[in-house]
Structure formats: structure tokens, C-alpha cells
């Protein structure tokens, strides 16, 4: 098997070299310091985003780790002119918007639209990828791509399974929201990491 960090042979039933993993963990700590610095208002938005892009693109082991974590299909979805910065896997996603369904009504069984504003789970084992330009929600059947300038609000709800959420621009009077949380339902750090990345890359603060 290949090492997910250096792409070299890792040995039988092994997915990484311990020394490669240590290098990438050190690189992740640097990215975490930038995210926390921005969240604590020690680093400005432009400087923080630039540092994240430079850190992510400067280490080939880290890039290998991101792409291997995201999966082979992600290379078809993520635009080649963007820098992959961070990835979270095994994420459940719910979408809230003004849903339209067609129902049969009356003696003629004609179909009429009905509207329902509320959350619906759309993915159970998705991958969330952050580039320098957009957030990607990579599902089994569909990929959602939202440039950061289309996001109008973000937040984090620790008491709700550690759920991260963001709203996107819409002409509907109802908000168009995506909620993201760890598929296992236990870890709150996954949602918190998503919110921190989204805040630093979009410029939106959260409480």
C-alpha cells in the first residue's frame, strides 16, 4: 500500500510512514495557529487567508494528504485553478430551503405545487473541502459548490451535535442553509473546524 502522505510504498497493510505523519501533523498545527489567530482577532482577514494558502500549497506531503483524504473522485470536482487548503471527511449534511413538491389534488388528480421550508438530510458520509475560492460539499451523488462571496452568514451550535452552518444568497424569503456535523454524532471538533475554516476564508465571524 502507498503512504497517504508521501505516496511512496508504506508496506503490507500500512497506509502511512510514521515520520511522514509527524511532518503533516506539524503542518496542521501551523494552519490551526493561523485559524485561531484570526478567530481571536490577532490576524486580519487578508493576512490570515494568504497565510493559509501559502501553508497549504508549500508542502507536498500535506497536499498529498488532502487529496488522498478527499478521494479520487474529488479531482474531477475541484477546479484545477484553486488551491486545496483543508478537508473534513465523514460529515452529515442537511439543507434547509423553501422546498417545492408536486401533489395530486382534487377529482381530476391535477398536480399542484406545495411548499415546505425546513431541513432535509441530503448526505450522510460526505467530504467537505475548502479551497482558496470556495467550499465544496462532496457527496456520493451530487457536489455542491459555493464561492465564499455567496455566503451571507455562518455559525456553530455546540449543543446541536456540534453543528456548523452557513447561509447562501437566495431570492426566497426563507433562508437557504446548510448544516454540517460529524456522521458519528459524537465529535463536536469536526463542526468547529469547519466553522473556523469557513470564517477565515469567507471573512464572516461567528459566535
pLDDT digits (tens, 9 = 90+) for 13-71: 899 999 999 999 999 999 999 999 999 999 999 999 999 999 999 999 999 999 999 98
Own/partner contacts of 135-141, CB < 8 Å, gap of 24 or more, are 135/166, 135/198, 135/201, 136/74, 136/77, 136/78, 137/93, 137/178, 137/180, 138/70, 138/71, 138/73, 138/74, 138/77, 139/93
The predicted pLDDT at position 37 comes to 95
Q: What percent of the chain has pLDDT over 70?
A: 90
User: In terms of C-beta density within 10 A (0-12 exposed, 13-18 middle, 19 or more buried), how is residue 202 classed?
Assistant: buried
* Mean pLDDT of the region 178-204: 93
pLDDT digits (tens, 9 = 90+) for 161-173: 899 999 999 887 7
Three cell numbers written together for 80: 484545477
Confidence bin at 105 (pLDDT 50/70/90): low
The predicted pLDDT at position 165 comes to 95
Amino acid at each position: 500500500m502507498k503512504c497517504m502522505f508521501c505516496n511512496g510504498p508504506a508496506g503490507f497493510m500500512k497506509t502511512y510512514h510514521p515520520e511522514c505523519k509527524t511532518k503533516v501533523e506539524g503542518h496542521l498545527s501551523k494552519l490551526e495557529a493561523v485559524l485561531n489567530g484570526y478567530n481571536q482577532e490577532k490576524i486580519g482577514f487578508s493576512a490570515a487567508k494568504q497565510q493559509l494558502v501559502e501553508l497549504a500549497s508549500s508542502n507536498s506531503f500535506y497536499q498529498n494528504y488532502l487529496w488522498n483524504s478527499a478521494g479520487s473522485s474529488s479531482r474531477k470536482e475541484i477546479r484545477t485553478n484553486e488551491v486545496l487548503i483543508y478537508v473534513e471527511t465523514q460529515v452529515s449534511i442537511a439543507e434547509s430551503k423553501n422546498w417545492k413538491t408536486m401533489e395530486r389534488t382534487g377529482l381530476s388528480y391535477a398536480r399542484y405545487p406545495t411548499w415546505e421550508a425546513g431541513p432535509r438530510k441530503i448526505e450522510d458520509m460526505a467530504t467537505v473541502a475548502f479551497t482558496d475560492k470556495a467550499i465544496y460539499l462532496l457527496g456520493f451523488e451530487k457536489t455542491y459548490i459555493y464561492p465564499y462571496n455567496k455566503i451571507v452568514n455562518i455559525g456553530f451550535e455546540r449543543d446541536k451535535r456540534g453543528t456548523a452552518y452557513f447561509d447562501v444568497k437566495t431570492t426566497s424569503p426563507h433562508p437557504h442553509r446548510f448544516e454540517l456535523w460529524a456522521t458519528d454524532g459524537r465529535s463536536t471538533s469536526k463542526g468547529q473546524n469547519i466553522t473556523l475554516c469557513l470564517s477565515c476564508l469567507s471573512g464572516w465571524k461567528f459566535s
